[in-house]
Structure 1
Amino acid sequence: MISSDQICRCSWVDLSKPDYVQYHDQEWGIPVYDDQHLFEHLVLESSQAGLSWYTVLRKRENYRAAFDQFNPQKIAHYDEAKIEILMGNAGIIRNRKKIEAIIGNARVFLQIQVEFGSFADYSWRFVGGQPIVNSFSASDTWPTTSPESDAMSKDLRKRGFKFFGSTICYAHMQATGMVNDHSLECFRRQEIIDSYK
């Protein structure tokens, strides 16, 4: 897809939505090793289940305010009273099961940090510690899962993670740069590859 400034981007980017373009250009596919940033993505992506990513992206700042800046230590201690407050917050997706999952996932996240030293060390081992670089054209049918996302999702679900099937896990891997799925035509693909060096 060609934008008005003649830059080629991935075909999924809606050029009429500046925040979507900014997310693609400045965030999607860049490797993330910071645990709090990874947890933020886990919260948002698990909230996405059954919805479009843009629906969640537009609510990101509301989630940040509602969930203590995505601080897993604080979220892990949320109680029923806090759940009721969150259920009354129109700025987030008011699905009780998803809210409860965020709290439960925070607790599992902290357990993983203790076991592996960091969540980054845990998650990046599923891709051998290095980004997987795919070579898809804009016209190709892109995968929605991979053997790596299958394995990570299965392990997280075994540990108690909710709303994190292989499709959501693969989206997480794409977003956090564990997988570089920028299309061959996209200007960001090579820029991100060059940043690995």
Structure 2
Amino acid sequence: MSLSVGDDGLARPAWAATDPLLRDYYDLEWGMPVRDETGLFERLSLEAFQSGLSWATILRKRPAFRVAFSGFEADAVARFTADDTARLMADAGIVRNRRKIDATIQNARATVALREAEGLAALIWSFQPPATPAPQTHAEVPTSSTESLALSKELKRRGFAHVGPTTMFALMEAVGIVDTHLVGSHRRGSSGVWTKDGSRA
């Protein structure tokens, strides 16, 4: 699976070439740097909910997730009670997985606690590698890395849950910490974080 050139003449991976929702996400958001607490907490939460599901499913439910989880404001989610958990488990607009819901609330509390140290954004970005992959095909895109494993371990040590190395690598891809856009894609090297050859910008 490699690149597909769209009607607009732009090259994208096959997963982003047909579905308009995925195409817009790929063109406008995926891989662009996110450095604020709320943005990172949202993406960390959504990547955890995505585990075992397609990203398209999560993206379609994203507006409902934002309503259900108070815009992913960590302070608000950290105050969720058993009544909120029951409400979320009854909400057909989101993924009703008790383990993932509990983890999101736990992670909100851990995010708030991190403010007494370096904060969520600084912690996550401290695991940016010195270079990023340069995949030619989808098969060459890694699913984890030394840095995602280290980030997973550190987040768990800080009280986070459902933050395995594969999920953390997906987060790192989504927020620009690594650039796994295929070589030749119109988005390769467009984040301002990485160059097209995989070195830091």
Query: TM-score, normalization: structure 2?
Result: 0.90
Unaligned residue ranges in structure 1 (runs of 5+): none
Give the structure 2 partner of residue 166 of structure 1: 165
Match of 1:61 among 39, 60, 63: 63
Superposed CA RMSD in Å reads: 1.7
How far residue 138 of structure 1 moved from its aligned partner, in angstroms, is 2.3
Give the structure 1 partner of residue 133 of structure 2: 134
What is the rounded CA distance, in whole Å, between the counterparts of 1:139 and 1:80 in structure 2?
A: 42
List per-residue Cα deviations over 1:60-114 (Å, max 9, x = no partner): 0000011101111010010101111111100000111111110001011111222
Change (3 A) 1:54 1:61: same
- What percent of counterpart residues are identical? 38
Q: Between Structure 1 and Structure 2, how many residues are aligned?
A: 193
List per-residue Cα deviations over 1:163-184 (Å, max 9, x = no partner): 1100000000000000011111
Unaligned residue ranges in structure 2 (runs of 5+): 195-199
List per-residue Cα deviations over 1:30-82 (Å, max 9, x = no partner): 11111111111011011111111111111000000111011110100101011
Structure 1 segment 111-126 matched on structure 2, within 5 A: 111-116=113-118, 118-126=119-127
Give the structure 1 partner of residue 15 of structure 2: 12
Q: What secondary structure, in the 3-state scheme, does the structure 2 residue paired with 1:9 have? A: strand
The answer as to whether partners of 2:15 and 2:22 remain within 8 angstroms in 1 is no
Change (3 A) 1:181 1:90: same
The answer as to whether partners of 2:35 and 2:121 remain within 8 angstroms in 1 is yes
User: Would you tell me which structure has more helix in proportion to its own residues?
Assistant: 1
What is the rounded CA distance, in whole Å, between the counterparts of 1:192 and 1:96 in structure 2?
A: 35
Match of 2:80 among 78, 81, 84: 78
Which runs of 4 or more aligned residues in structure 1 lie more than 6 Å from their structure 2 counterparts after TM superposition?
none
| Residue range with higher mean Cα deviation, 105-114 or 63-72 | 105-114
